[in-house]
Homo-oligomer: A and B are copies of this chain.
C-alpha cells in the first residue's frame, strides 16, 4: 500500500538495518567490547558545558510562551541577526538577518532549498564520493541527480569532469567540505576553479546555477587548515549549516541556511524558503535551541579528541599498507580497498569484527568509510583487527 517510490526506499533501508542487526549479533557472540563499529557518523565528543548553562539561563530569564512559542517560519529575528553578525565578523561579510533561515539541521536546510528551486527534471550535480542522502533529497522534488566522477588521488572536486556534466537543465550544484566520507577540506584553489566554471557556464548557457555548500563539519578541522567561505567566491551561493557536529547536538535538529543577498531572485527565494519550511511540516526550527545556539556562537566541541583518533587510525592504516588521502576535517577516513570489490572487503572485515561502510554507498566503489567518532580506547583495541584484515587482503 506504500507508494512506489517508498517501496524502493524501504527495501534499501532494510539493507542498512540488516547491517545494524549484524553488529548486534556479533556483539552478542563476541562481547560488545570486541566488536569495532566504524559505521556510524554519530558524534561521541560531549557537547560543551555552556549548552546546559545556556538552557538554564534562558528558562530562568525569559517567558515560557516566548521560548517555546511560534515565531516567523524563518526563525527568531534576534537569533538570525546574531548569526549574521557572527558571520560578518568571522568572514568579513555584510549580511543581515534577511539572509538567514533557521532550519531543522542541515538536512532540513537542504530539503527546503531544493523544494524552493527544483522543477521536476531539473538537474542537481554532486561530486563523488558524496553523502548518500543527497540522492533522496533530490528525488523528493523529482530532480535528476548527476554525479561527477571522483579524483581519487586528492578527492578535491573534479572540475574537468564537472564541465562535461553542466547542461541547460543544471539548477543546483552541491558540495560538502569538510567532506563526508573523505574528510578532505576543499582548497581555496579548488573553490576558485569551481566557482569560475559555474560563472562561465551561467553566462554561456544563460541560466542561474545555485551552489549549495553543505557544511555541518566546518568546525571539525585539524592542522590549522582553513575552510574557504564559499559565499565570498560566488554570487548564487547557499550555505547549509548545522550544530549537529560543532556542538554535538545532532538530535536537536538545529542549523541554518545563509543565502548570498546578491543571488539571482533573492527576495523570492527567501520567501520560498520560508514557505517551504512551513509546508514541509518543519514550520520552524525548534525554538528553545534557536535561542541556545545564539548564546553559544563562539563555543565549540573539543576537536582535539577527534584529531587524536584520526592520527592513531590513519597512521596505523598507512603503516599496514593502506592507501588513504590524509583528511584534514570531519571524522572519517576513506581508504582504498586492497581488493577491488568494496562490498566483499566489508564482508571480509566483519570476520575480524570490524564494521565498515563500502564506498559504493557514497558513489565511489573501491573504497571504505571509517567513522572514527568513537572512543580512543576502542580504536586502539581495534588495531590488531585491522592488522589481521590487512594480512588477509593486501597482497604484498
Chain A residues close to B by CB (< 8 Å): 1-7, 9-10, 13-14, 42-44, 46-47, 51-52, 55-56, 59, 64-65, 67-71, 104-105, 107-112, 115-119, 122, 133, 136-137, 140-141, 208, 210, 248-253, 264-265, 268-269, 271-272, 274-276, 278-289
Contacts and interface: CB of A to CB of B under 8 A. Distances in A.
B1 A268 contact: yes
Given A108-B281, A252-B288, 11 more contacts: A3-B115, A5-B119, A64-B248, A110-B281, A136-B279, A137-B279, A251-B286, A253-B282, A253-B285, A253-B286, A280-B281
B70 A275 contact: no
A249 B3 CA distance: 32
A326 B210 CA distance: 52
B2 A268 contact: yes
A19 to B, nearest CB: 15
B52 A59 contact: yes
Given A65-B248, A286-B286, A269 B1 contact: yes
Contact of A1 (B208, B280, B285): B208
A64 B252 CA distance: 11
Contact of A117 (B2, B52, B249, B271): B2
Given A1-B269, A252-B288, A104 B283 contact: yes
Contacts of A269: 1-2
A55 B55 contact: yes
A46 B69 CA distance: 10
B280 A140 contact: yes
Residue of A42, A133, A280, A281 with highest tally of chain B CB at under 10 A: A281
B283 A10 contact: no
A221 to B, nearest CB: 21
Contacts of A9: 272, 275, 279
A108 to B, nearest CB: 4
A68 B251 contact: yes
Contact of A253 (B51, B274, B284): B284
A243 to B, nearest CB: 10
Q: Which 9 A-B pairs have the closest CB atoms?
A: A251-B287, A111-B281, A107-B281, A136-B279, A1-B265, A108-B281, A286-B286, A10-B271, A2-B272
Contact of A250 (B69, B107, B278): B69
Contacts of A280: 111, 140, 280-281
A6 B250 CA distance: 29
